[in-house]
Amino acid sequence: MGVAWRAHDSLLGRDVAVKEVVVPSLLPQAERRAAEARVLREARAAARLNHPGAVTVHDVVREHGHTFIVMELVRAPTLADLIQAKGPLPPERVAEIGVQLAGALEAAHRVGIVHRDVKPANVLVPEIGGVKLADFGVASLQGDPTLTSTGLVLGSPAYMAPEQASGKSSGPPADMWALGATMFFAVEGEPPFDKGALIPTLAAVVNEDPRPMRRAGPIAWVIGALLAKDPAARPSPSTVQRWLRWLVDMARPGPSPATAGGPSGRSHETPTFEPARAASEPAATAAPSERPSRPGPPPARRRGGRRLVGVLALLLAGGLLVVWAVSGIGADSAGHRAARPTVGGGAGATGRAEPAPTTRAGPEATQAPAATVAPQGTLPAGWRAFTNRAGSVRVGVPPGFRARTRPTFHATIVEEERDPGRVFTVRSANPANPLPQASRDYRAWARRNLQDFREVRYAEDQSYAGREGAVVFEYEALRNGRRVHVSHINVKGRTWGYNVEFITPVGRWDSSKELARQFEQAFQPLG
């Protein structure tokens, strides 16, 4: 597509990159002029894009019959160079890169810009700071219908979407396909469809499944969804960011027992990434069979009895997948994990712990229906209040429990200090998905995916914490070798949506019902 030069902007005193765009000489003169005009137009449009994950376009200059694009100079190797030098990256790192690239694409698509040449050679990976997607406005020729009539192929065939390889018009979903192929390359060390020659590669893109993924582990299903042949079945950039942020956040190890003040051993909220199982169970590579009607848990498709495996299954067996996933979430970066706070809100706290308001002591304070005891948000004697950093929810922390937060979905977690078997979690997001459909989607997903799943109760139009229209979903499933009872409740505040979950070992559910009621009484949605 041209020659890149390092240059100096004498007016502003800064080094820049200058790309001289070279339109192929094989084009007829009329098509050549049209192509040059389009490059100029789209490069100017790319100059309006302002996102930390995109290389900034400073200016576009037409000089002596040539088009020059003046861009931010990024001193960093490309993802292609990095993989060639050091080999495939671990899944967690690829997930982080995917989040940043999807964010840049989302910003571009929002203003009508389609990259059309997302590939490892266009991803810059600095040692410090986030990755950068380069060549916005440069590769726009690839989707120009005037080029298909000449038989000319521009771009990288191994990263072309099927609609591009077939000569059809392409839009934002083509960028998402290329993102999936780029992530595939980053984690596997090779493109998903490369056959070593142009025509066989294009034929594989259109007609064949990608190579089996052996290193992708828990991100395999995200890559598989992006590589769907049907453009309409590919997830949007915001959905990809949400899925990958969730996986990255789940994979980050928790604080050591010394700093957390809790028991030794790994918390169920913070498992680590692990490779997928052997080729006998490669179903993690299968793409979802349909695009979710709204952001939420990705639908799964079973192939010949295969099932999702590895860490994804471990996470999902605990009922931890968040239903309240909505477009526009992203206030918390996947690269930042909150430390565990003490209940008293001391050093390292990521929320606000408050003294409990005065409550009436005695048996009637815990045995009578919550609505008849005190206003919503009133705490039982000895409990403390904890408000998350976003200020979206206040929960109660009983004696013997600790509270902490996670950035993803502004999650507040209240768990037993001596035995992490009982956990109360509230996740919140704004805006909220509509009820009851979000709960119905999660219920259908849980039936298909959770290990040894058994539904206990499902009820819509319920009341929870004084809020009408709640959906209550109770089920049992196997998690980490222990069978648990999950009370999964979706309820709406003024504008925020809340996913309230209480998980206990099955054998402790009956004795924990009163505690669940007290958590409900203490729960106070603030958004």
Residue from 99, 96, 390, 408 nearest 249 by CA? 408
Distance (Å, whole) CA 262 – CA 268 = 13
Q: What is the DSSP letter of 523?
A: -
CA torsion sign for 7, 8, 14, 20 is negative
Instruction: Reply yes or no on whether 117 is catalytic.
Output: yes
Question: The tokens of 215 are what?
Answer: 């290193």
Closest CA to 382 of 515, 512, 511: 515
Helix (H) / strand (E) element for 509: namely: helix 509-522
CA angle 129, 131, 132 (to 5 degrees): 120
Tokens of 291: 């695009």
Q: How far apart are CA 226 and CA 183, in angstroms?
A: 10
Closest CA to 461 of 474, 476, 471: 471
Tokens 């309240």 belong to residue: 324
Are 122 and 135 in contact, with CB atoms under 8 Å apart?
yes
Catalytic one of 59, 81, 117, 135: 117
Q: Is 223 left (phi over 0), alpha (psi -120 to 50) or beta?
A: alpha
Span between the terminal Cα atoms of the chain, in Å: 50
The alpha helices in 267-382, defined as continuous H runs, are 311-317, 364-367, 370-373
Rounded Cα distance between 56 and 108, Å, is 12
DSSP string for residues in 83-131: HHHH-PPPHHHHHHHHHHHHHHHHHHHHTT-------GGGEE--SSS--
Q: How many helices (H) and strands (E) does the chain have?
A: 15, 17
Rounded distance between C-alpha atoms, residue 282 and residue 448, angstroms = 17
Tell me which DSSP letter residue 409 carries: G
Neighbours of 139 (CB within 10 A): 23
- Residues 6+ positions from 299 with CB-CB distance below 8 Å: 288, 289, 290, 292, 445, 448
Tokens representing 290 are 């349909």
SS3 label, residue 441: helix
For residue 399, give the DSSP letter: T
Please name which of 496, 131, 128 lies closest in space to residue 331, comparing C-alpha atoms.
Answer: 496
Question: Active-site positions?
Answer: 117
